[in-house]
Amino acid sequence: MKNDRFLKALRGEQLRPIPIWIMRQAGRYLPEYQEVRGKTDFLTLCKTPELAAQVTIQPVDVLGVDAAILFSDILIPLEPMGIGLDFKEGHGPVLSPPVRTEADVSRLVVHDPNETCGFVSETVKILRKELSQKVPLIGFSGAPFTLATYMIEGGSSRNFLFTKKMMFEAPDLFNKLMEKITDVTIRYLSMQINSGAEAIQVFDTWAGILSVNDYFQHVFPHVDRIFKELSTFDCPKIYFAFGGHHLLSTIKDLKVDCFGIDWRTPLNKASDLLGNDKVVQGNLDPLALFLPEKDLRDRVKVILEEGKVAKSHIFNLGHGVLPQIPAEKVKLLVEIVHDLSK
């Protein structure tokens, strides 16, 4: 009964049609989501298992995607480390106080997500049950560097000044911070897998701001440790380094099953850089959903063609879908991908 094309593709099977899911598919572009969200704030929604499960399932029913992804936020496991977390409407997240000194880092708690993030575990359990006849459930976390930027900057950033300042001026302190986040991340992902997540994705949204050498020195060891420690779980793993075209040949040997690729790099080029034996996931520019239907079809065709070089291909956007995109267009994309790859 269950549609397991997504899991098969993650294992390297070439399928017809290929599976598709969409980053941020449970989000503000979807009227059904807006209705739930209208009654509660974002953080409460993340922390209320029944509601989080409800919005997680919506796109599966509405769009017909081949996987569900836990509705949550990458910053959730940072709060129990001892950081204030606030999502202000129209602004990005605010984390306070920012983590910038030896004392700030020392204060951070390497907590046990089973105790501190029970609502996530609960949501995963509900979802696994409710999705049992539908599609697989993806769990996720932020990657240590991406989480570190939010902690150090106190929110979003343009230049990542404080992050790089710490990395360059105080590499040992930066490393200590990365270690702590990595410890929490491993526990957090283990909890999700133990609760029933059937695949996990690690989002490294800001990895791309680093030079190849700095990524390799300051970030790679931590990402590598996450996937090595999680390799005891027979659960497929995806790593997505947004803006990471220049990092592809550096990350190719990570112990992951699949690499997310943003829209900048053609999938055949990405496969080439990754070694041609990898599963790739991507990579329509989220704003290419503004293309008229005919042009959208043409573009999907190109991406499907480029994806054929890879071991297998899971269709996705190259980044999260934006609130300004009509839900009908997203639904159309799912139909087009299924149609053209069948």
- Comparing CA positions, the residue from 72, 71, 70, 76 lying closest to residue 117 is 76
The answer to whether residue 16 is catalytic is no
DSSP-based three-state secondary structure for 15: coil
Is 215 annotated for ligand binding?
A: no
Cα–Cα dist 128/6, whole Å = 15
Q: Does 288 bind its own copies (CB under 8 A)?
A: yes
DSSP code of residue 186: H
Q: Could you tell me the CA-to-CA distances from 21 to 69, 109, 250 in Å, in that order? A: 9, 34, 26
Based on the residue annotation, tell me whether 128 is a catalytic residue of this protein: no
Tell me how far, at minimum, the Cβ of 27 lies from its own copies, in Å. Answer: 14
Catalytic residue among 5, 29, 33, 37: 37
208 binds its own copies (CB under 8 A): yes
Is 93 within 8 Å of 150 (Cβ atoms)? yes
Sign of CA dihedral 250, 257, 6, 323: negative
Phi (first) and psi of residue 324, to 5 degrees: -80, -5
The nearer residue to its own copies, 123 or 250, going by C-beta atoms, is 250
Residue 155: DSSP 8-state: B
Q: Is 201 annotated as a binding residue?
A: no
Q: Is 33 an active-site residue?
A: no
Q: Which residues pair with 339 in a beta bridge?
A: none
Nearer to its own copies, 116 or 163 (CB): 163
Specify whether 24 is catalytic: yes
Size of the site for its own copies (CB under 8 A): 33
* Of 249, 234, 248, 341, residue with least CA distance to 297: 341
88-147 residues near its own copies, rule: CB under 8 A = none
Verify binding: residue 160, its own copies, rule CB under 8 A: yes
Nearer to its own copies, 8 or 245 (CB): 245
91 is in an annotated binding site: no
Residues interacting with its own copies, by CB under 8 A? 159-161, 164-165, 168-169, 208-214, 243, 245-246, 263-266, 269, 285, 287-288, 290-292, 295, 302, 318, 322, 324
Give the active site residues: 24, 28, 37, 73, 150
Known binding residues for substrate are: 24-28, 73, 150, 205, 319
